[in-house]
A and B are shown apart, each in its own frame.
Chain A
């Protein structure tokens, strides 16, 4: 579970890329106007993941519970701190990727 942070990053990345690519590729076929659908799907998903990652990074007890650690020992402390640092790194990664959602048009190619 020390990889919980990067796993959340991976799930978020897969979700935003697949959703974006699928909506753009399908055009109007699946009944969604791309420009309308994109923010409503991607922004909340990103917010949830960012909140989860922040919780993992800030709270050692959350990771301890995920690891089912019953006492803090050298090994448990090491794994928990690695997990928190990974969550912080993942938070940075998610935020970096998500900036584009706010700044770029939905489906246009680069000009």
Chain B
């Protein structure tokens, strides 16, 4: 829409309207700053924290390389070295790589989609605080010799209590376990944000590639992270209570951990790579002033990579003795996944070629060219190790260390630095320095290749991974010395970047569209994002819709004001981006910050076995979550409001179109994935250890009366939920029937779980006796977990009904509780079928 087109909203806008937006969206200052929820503030904090963890992980790497510079070195002892490589890997993978990509999503996605914020601002803020506090405490363990030592992947039996006594492993299991909650919260935001808060006219075919990559990133988190969450639960329960999931002597299997961990671990590396690829797909067209060649193929490649990455995990287990046909499936898939990655590389090359002479070798361009080279080398060695015979030769050698760093540093860190230089002008009053940027690039590029290329040779010469020293004079000294020198050069490059950041980055209104880019994040913006939400008709609106920036800034497009007086954005339909309703969002507050702090405290205090204090912190976390929830769900009181273009939209939506319904659906997918991982684990252990399974070797399953009783209670609870839904009071009325029905539903759900657990206890089953028994009780744990969430929500909703904050019209809090309750019933019922039906069927 050019300035000459009829405006969607009447011009000129009334005086005071922009000032009202500024006031509503103002960032808290002074000691209230931690309460901020604006995506730009939270995103910058998130990215800054991730970068700090990158530096900390990098320092560990420099120390390790110093130790390995020569054979039989005694710079670091073995135990310290073991903690260092574990912490390096864990920090880089869990505390830097995924959070950095989430942070960029938080910072850039709303801007690219011209949304005023993400759909659940406090949820993002909660996730960030939990991550920062938890990550800081977790990393600090290296200073007290309490850091885990089992490698970043923490294989049992090494990480069982017998071989890893002390709290070290528990810090990993509990610390990283709950940081994964942050990732899932972020995934919920991103799915709902990309699918429901795009500007009108931004159909899926016009969506920025970074939004596509983040959508797939979030989808992968939803299905991959639950497997490792289950694995960490199982290992922690075995360490704490002796339930033998991974102990072969009692029917467990250490390989179960490997399956669960790598089912997460392989998608994890694509979770890390795909957003970086999406960023490159945004930067390359801008740097050559040409639309992306092969947009459609890149979307196909991103989705294809996302799916294929779930079929690769056993390639981390080629040396475990699994039958060769099984290995062949994964070997083939590991090669097949190179095809969509290659499609993206060729699309970028084609775009660069199309741009021809227009490419100037600015710092972002240099980092992108560096990425193309390094990532391609890493991809080539990846195809090599996808071949089983080669992998058997190089498994657990430094060849793999070289490969993984080429793909991860090349595929993520280089695009990240390109991103810093490219998008800094959006968040800083001054762009970063081109001169320092070139120094940074060349030091990093040369340093990286000098550090990691010789590792291919060291690995082929037989040098294993994770060794704190090696014999001098067996031919490994020279490549190691060269690698160490390269590491120091790489570190210098990063130091130059820090200097550049300190000298030039000044947070505040951006330096403007310095690249003359075509996408929406470069529109004039302030704390409220854009002055109005644009109508979009192309993939590069700033190139193809002349005058758009001025029209948006003048308030000529949608929602140039805040008709409800609160923070708002537009919710649109998932495919065609038709406006549907105006979303009212919460602003700054303390409750989510305190909930995050006490959640972190709960998990970390449990690690050091301070159970009572941990429980108190857990209760406080729950309390602040309730306080936070109490203020949500504003209801339809504000009616419909004008958004421009002659449209009036509701300010509240219930049912499947509501953003909360979508969030709950995503949460159910996460919970379902975790439960499927549990079902897999149960069946897997049965194939491995049928001799410990009921009815042959264990107490017979309890009489069918027990599961039938449990199922009856579940259905009864669901019935009362339905009754509650039908008896919600009219707006403004108090209502008694619905709260009572909710309380009865809660009681029945709890009763269902209790009956199930009691039945097994009564049958004489001991969860420590065998992996079968442990799995049976684990079903009870998972059922209890889900039911506990439903009970808390049901009690909250009952209280809200009594307080007249939930009713027949203002009903989202009830509807989402009923959604989760239905899921809990389905999951628990499946569990009953498995636990009571399967042993009878195999008998």
Contacts and interface: CB of A to CB of B under 8 A. Distances in A.
Interface string B283-304: 0000000000000110110011
B336 A110 contact: no
Contacts of B205: 74-75, 78-79
A106 B325 contact: yes
A85 B294 CA distance: 12
B329 A13 contact: yes
A21 B324 CA distance: 11
A45 interface: no
Interface stretch (A47-55, A58-66, A95-103): A95-103
Interface string A15-27: 0110011101110
Interface stretch (B111-119, B306-314, B482-490, B754-762): B306-314
Contact of B297 (A78, A85, A105): A85
Contact of B326 (A21, A85, A86): A21
Contact of A110 (B308, B339, B388, B690): B388
B772 to A, nearest CB: 16
B194 to A, nearest CB: 15
B336 A21 contact: no
Contacts of A13: 311, 329, 333
B390 interface: no
B324 A108 contact: yes
Interface string A62-82: 000000000000110011011
B30 interface: no
Interface of A is mostly: helix
Contacts of A79: 204-205, 575
Residue with the highest number of chain A CB atoms closer than 10 Å, among B310, B328, B331, B339: B328
Contacts of B333: 13, 93, 96-97
B307 A104 contact: no
B323 A82 contact: no
Contacts of B576: 75
B687 interface: yes
B311 A10 contact: yes
B843 interface: no
Nearest to B688: A25
A109 interface: yes
B322 interface: yes
A61 to B, nearest CB: 19
Contact of A105 (B299, B324, B339, B688): B324
A93 B308 contact: yes
Contacts of B14: none
A25 B296 contact: no
B203 interface: yes
B325 A97 contact: no
Interface residues of B, number: 38
Contact of B324 (A82, A97, A104): A104
B321 interface: yes
Nearest to A3: B303
Contacts of B326: 17, 20-21, 24
A26 B307 contact: no
Nearest to B327: A110
Interface of B is mostly: helix
Interface size class of A (residues with CB under 8 A): 35 or more
B415 interface: no
A16 B327 contact: no
Nearest to A79: B204
A81 B303 CA distance: 13
Nearest to B307: A6
A41 interface: no
Contacts of B322: 21, 109
Given A74-B205, A85-B300, A92-B339, A24 B323 contact: yes
B296 A81 contact: yes
A110 B204 contact: no
B332 A86 contact: no
A75 B575 contact: yes
B335 interface: yes
A76 to B, nearest CB: 9
A109 B323 contact: yes
A4 to B, nearest CB: 11
A22 B687 contact: yes
A2 B307 CA distance: 13
Contacts of B308: 6, 9, 93
A107 interface: yes
Contact of B321 (A86, A90, A106, A109): A109
Contact of A108 (B310, B323, B331): B323
A104 B328 contact: yes
Contacts of B306: 6
B392 interface: yes
Contacts of A103: 328
Contacts of B297: 85
Interface string B667-704: 00000000000000001000110100000000000000
B151 interface: no
A108 B688 CA distance: 16
B148 interface: no
A88 to B, nearest CB: 9
A43 interface: no
B340 interface: yes
Given A16-B329, A82-B299, A110 B688 contact: no
A81 B311 CA distance: 24
A107 B311 contact: no
Contacts of B323: 20-21, 24, 106-109
A81 B304 CA distance: 14
Contact of B687 (A2, A25, A74, A86): A25
Given A10-B310, A92-B336, A104 B300 contact: no
A29 to B, nearest CB: 7
A100 B388 CA distance: 13
A109 B331 CA distance: 14
Contacts of B328: 97, 99-100, 103-104
Nearest to B333: A97
A13 to B, nearest CB: 5
Residue with the highest number of chain A CB atoms closer than 10 Å, among B304, B306, B322, B331: B304
Interface in B3-37: none
A21 B687 contact: yes
B170 to A, nearest CB: 32
Contacts of A89: 300, 304, 339-340
A13 B576 CA distance: 33
Nearest to A13: B311
Contacts of B300: 82, 85-86, 89
B643 to A, nearest CB: 22
A3 B307 contact: yes
Contact of B296 (A82, A99, A101, A104): A82
B618 to A, nearest CB: 37
B343 to A, nearest CB: 9
A58 to B, nearest CB: 16
A75 to B, nearest CB: 5
A86 B306 CA distance: 11
A78 B300 CA distance: 11
A10 B306 CA distance: 11
A32 B331 CA distance: 26
Interface in B316-356: 321-329, 331-333, 335-336, 339-340
Nearest to B299: A82
29 contacts: A6-B308, A10-B307, A10-B310, A13-B311, A13-B329, A17-B329, A20-B323, A21-B322, A21-B326, A25-B688, A75-B205, A78-B203, A79-B205, A82-B299, A82-B300, A85-B296, A90-B307, A96-B332, A96-B333, A96-B335, A96-B336, A97-B311, A97-B328, A97-B332, A100-B325, A100-B331, A109-B321, A109-B322, A110-B392
Given A75-B576, A86-B303, A106-B323, 17 more contacts: A9-B308, A10-B307, A13-B333, A17-B326, A21-B322, A25-B688, A38-B325, A81-B296, A82-B299, A86-B300, A86-B304, A96-B333, A97-B328, A97-B333, A100-B332, A106-B325, A107-B325
- Give 6 nearest A-B pairs by CB, closest first: A100-B328, A25-B687, A6-B307, A78-B205, A96-B332, A85-B300
